[in-house]
Structure 1
Amino acid sequence: MGKDSTANKGKTKDAGKGKAAASEEKGGKGKGKAGKDELGTCTYVKARHILCEKQGKINEAYKKLKEGWLDSGDKVPPAEFAKLAAEYSECPSGKKGGDLGWFPRGKMAGPFQEVAFNTPPGVLSAPFKSTHGYHIILAEGRKN
């Protein structure tokens, strides 16, 4: 009996590890949630954005970024994003390549802040709508 209980203890430990590993591999639930929590807890974000009044225009800009970079698995370089921001953005920041610099939590409106603070550095957000229009955000950094 002692042998069986020892074997079961080992299996129970391994089974627990296997479930966690399987969870991370399937949907990244365990890892993804921790990553999201980590992203959501920073105090400042550095970002660029493109703002358009019309959804069709933001989708066109996103399509150019997607075809040029994302489809090949690359991250969009800030310089390339800046070129498109200067061309497409209707925000005054478009003249500066969409650069918003560093901003603290609470400075930006609801959906914009949510996306900016939950997009990992170097990653491009999908187009989304805010009270100001349609945006794409390129997160460049985060700090506390």
Structure 2
Amino acid sequence: MGKDAKAAGGKGKGKQAAGGGGGGGDESASKGKGKGGKSADGLGTCTYVKARHILCEKQGKINEAYKKLQDGWLDNGDKVPPAEFAKLAAEYSECPSGKKGGDLGWFPRGKMAGPFQDVAFSTQIGATSAPFKSTHGYHIILCEGRKN
């Protein structure tokens, strides 16, 4: 389960390229996953995430959606606007949430299964994850918020 999320992160362009150049709180980000350390972005410390996603059964289809995100924003180092992500989710996602632009709303730790939760809670606000596999298929996540 955990290796699926790690494999997605190893591709390079996904969440690290989209969310890595955030600037600002680099010194606090190193404490984010430590014991009790609070980071400015909430990674490792938040209890709720607000996210959108695209879910596809076939890897080729999720890769096609991700290519559109790369061509439009990610390759330029830009963040994907939520409205644009929502359009792609409506077009590509095979999840019922696709009709709502992939909006999953706020969800707590423990509600989503394995790799999905791992990626959702480790993607920075405004960043888009690389495609990854879960038991439900292939996903791309856009993190829209965090709270405790």
Q: Same fold (TM over 0.5)?
A: yes
Quote the RMSD (CA, aligned, Å).
1.5
SS of residue in 1 equivalent to 2:142: strand
Which residue of structure 1 lines up, in the alignment, with residue 53 of structure 2? Answer: 49
Amino acid of the residue matched to residue 131 of structure 1? Answer: T
The Cα shift of 1:50 comes to 0.1
Distance in structure 1 (CA, Å) of the matches to 2:67 and 2:31: 30
Residue number in structure 1 paired with 2:116: 112
- For residues 67 and 36 of structure 1, the distance between their equivalents in structure 2, rounded to whole angstroms, comes to 32
Structure number, greater radius of gyration:
1
Matches of 1:120 and 1:30, distance apart in 2: 15
Quote the Cα distance in structure 1 between the aligned partners of 2:44 and 2:85.
Answer: 24
Q: Unaligned stretches of 5+ in structure 1?
A: 1-28
- The equivalent position to 2:68 in structure 1, one of 61, 64, 69, is 64
Runs of 4+ in 1 over 4 A off after TM superposition: 29-32
Of structures 1 and 2, the one with the larger relative CO (CA 8 A, separation 6+) is: 2
Number of corresponding residues: 116
Within a 5 Å distance, the mapping from 1:1-144 to structure 2 comes to: 32-37=29-34, 38=39, 39-144=43-148
Query: Secondary structure of 2:30's match?
Result: helix
CA separation in 2, counterparts of 1:134 and 1:36?
A: 26
The normalised TM-score by structure 1 is 0.76
Matched position secondary structure for 2:31: helix
Identity %: 84
* Partner deviation per Cα, 1:94-136 (whole Å, 9 max, x = no partner): 0000000000000000000000000000000000000000000
The CA distance in 2 between the partners of 1:56 and 1:36, in whole Å, is 33
Gaps of 5+ in 2: 1-25
- After superposition, the C-alpha distances for 1:10-30 in whole angstroms (9 at most, x for unaligned) are xxxxxxxxxxxxxxxxxxx97
Normalising by structure 2, report the TM-score. Answer: 0.74
